[in-house]
């Protein structure tokens, strides 16, 4: 990535208004320079260069059959044609090997990150990873708060046009205001109120802080023959660090609701 493109992304993230409710998040338009975004789309991996999410071992067998990925590391990129490989290697070098993006994101969310980890961010063992994603028709995600080790997640939306803006990630609040979740389970939509959908538009970014209230998800993609392209950039804490678990102080009703939700999903009687 060129220095001018890098500065453009850093500026767009650093100056984006931070929305604090129901959890800290930003929505950024034109996050890449227009010419760079056009190059990103022209170099997007072809279907046969993506692998099922299941095959990566990140999810259980049979989970999310509509999601395909390309990890942004050397082994995965080695099979790409030379021109596309050079593009993605340059992006990977900036996102993974340089610390500028991570530093800019942490700085934008710093008050909330420090509230979670205290004044010793340097000891949190922060790391990051990147996945190129493609979701097909029928893909969906129930409301959830993400893995306890997640700190900030960035979703770079990469469609060709805004014809499917409604397919963005939505944010939710529980019907029971006392409900919290440290992370893991995905819950039925009927237990939540949708607050907003971060529209799936070209060259947009949705980034959010992981909390015990960061419920987000994706409505089932009902549109036929849809390809939902995005880049996922995750900042994570060392799972061995107890602070990485983001343990919530649940109100009395929260645990019982969580158990009822899980029993419902498992087909048990509550």
The pLDDT value given to residue 126: 87
d(C-alpha 26, C-alpha 154), whole Å: 9
d(C-alpha 133, C-alpha 255), whole Å: 33
The pLDDT value given to residue 98: 84
- Where on the phi/psi map is residue 146: left (φ > 0), alpha (ψ -120 to 50), or beta? left
Coil, strand, or helix at residue 100? helix
The pLDDT value given to residue 265: 40
Residues 35 and 75: beta-carbon distance below 8 Å: no
Residues 6+ apart with CB under 8 A from 220: 138, 139, 140
Per-residue pLDDT of the chain in tens (270 residues, 90 and over written 9) = 889 999 999 999 999 999 999 999 999 999 999 999 999 999 999 999 998 888 776 766 767 788 999 988 878 899 899 999 999 999 999 999 888 999 999 999 999 998 888 766 666 788 999 999 999 999 999 999 999 999 999 999 999 999 999 999 999 999 999 999 999 899 999 999 999 999 999 999 999 999 999 999 999 999 898 899 999 999 999 776 655 655 543 333 344 445 454 444 434 333
The string of DSSP codes covering 63-97 is S-TTEEEEESSHHHHTTS-HHHHHHHHHHHIIIII
The pLDDT value given to residue 249: 38
The pLDDT value given to residue 240: 64
d(C-alpha 228, C-alpha 230), whole Å: 7
Backbone angles phi, psi at 235, to 5 degrees: -100, 130
d(C-alpha 189, C-alpha 219), whole Å: 9
d(C-alpha 160, C-alpha 42), whole Å: 10
d(C-alpha 3, C-alpha 179), whole Å: 44
Strands, E assignment, 108-250: 127-135, 141-144, 150-157, 169-174, 192-198, 204-209, 216-218, 228-236
For each of the domains in the chain, give its residue range(s) and CATH number, in order of start. Answer: 3-265 (2.60.120.620)
């Amino acid at each position: 990535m060129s220095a001018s493109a890098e500065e453009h992304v850093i500026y767009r993230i650093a100056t984006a208004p931070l929305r604090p409710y129901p959890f800290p998040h930003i929505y950024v338009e034109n996050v890449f320079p227009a010419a760079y975004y056009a190059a990103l789309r022209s170099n997007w991996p072809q279907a046969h260069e993506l692998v099922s999410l299941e095959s990566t071992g990140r999810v259980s067998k049979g989970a999310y059959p509509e999601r395909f990925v390309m990890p942004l590391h050397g082994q995965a990129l080695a099979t790409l044609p030379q021109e596309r490989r050079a593009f993605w290697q340059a992006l990977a070098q900036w996102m993974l090997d340089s610390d500028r993006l991570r530093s800019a994101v942490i700085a934008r969310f710093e008050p909330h990150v420090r509230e979670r980890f205290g004044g010793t961010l340097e000891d949190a063992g922060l790391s990051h990873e990147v996945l190129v994603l493609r979701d097909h028709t029928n893909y969906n995600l129930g409301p959830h708060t993400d893995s306890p080790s997640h700190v900030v997640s960035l979703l770079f939306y990469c469609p060709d046009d805004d014809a499917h803006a409604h397919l963005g990630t939505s944010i939710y609040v529980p019907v029971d205001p006392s409900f919290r979740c440290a992370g893991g389970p995905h819950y039925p939509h009927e237990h939540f109120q949708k607050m907003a959908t971060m529209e799936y538009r070209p060259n947009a970014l949705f980034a959010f802080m992981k909390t015990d209230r960061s419920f987000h998800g994706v409505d089932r993609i009902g549109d036929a023959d849809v390809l939902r392209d995005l880049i996922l950039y995750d900042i994570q804490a060392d799972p061995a660090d107890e602070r990485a678990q983001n343990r919530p102080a649940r109100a009395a009703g929260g645990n019982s609701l969580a158990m009822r939700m899980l029993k419902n999903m498992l087909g048990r009687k509550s």
